[in-house]
């Protein structure tokens, strides 16, 4: 596979984990959202120096929202 194909595949997998995490109740859904949070944080940290300042805050907000959703699902069990 080419680099662009792997990037698209990776994005699809993370997107699928996010959607599944939203729809699956309990700890399994929370775990999927937690994994999504970690992946989003890793990707963001890798590109942070190249991001314009106006793009940084929305990315941090998205990561925080997904993390809160994960914690809510994990705590609710």
- CB-neighbour burial class of residue 31 (10 A; exposed 0-12, middle 13-18, buried 19+): middle
CB contact at 8 A, 36 and 18:
yes
pTM for this one? 0.89
Tokens for 74, please give them: 């994990």
Confidence of residue 1 (pLDDT cuts 50, 70, 90): low
Angle, in degrees to the nearest 10, between helices 53-76 and 26-47 = 160
Tell me the per-residue pLDDT of 17-74, one tens digit each, with 9 for 90 and over: 999 999 999 999 999 999 999 999 999 999 999 999 999 999 999 999 999 999 999 9
């Amino acid at each position: 596979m080419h680099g662009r194909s792997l990037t698209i595949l990776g994005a699809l997998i993370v997107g699928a984990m996010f959607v599944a995490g939203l729809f699956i109740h309990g700890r399994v859904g929370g775990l999927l959202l937690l994994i999504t949070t970690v992946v989003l944080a890793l990707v963001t940290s890798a590109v942070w120096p190249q991001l314009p300042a106006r793009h940084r805050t929305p990315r941090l907000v998205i990561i925080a929202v997904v993390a809160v959703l994960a914690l809510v699902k994990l705590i609710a069990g």
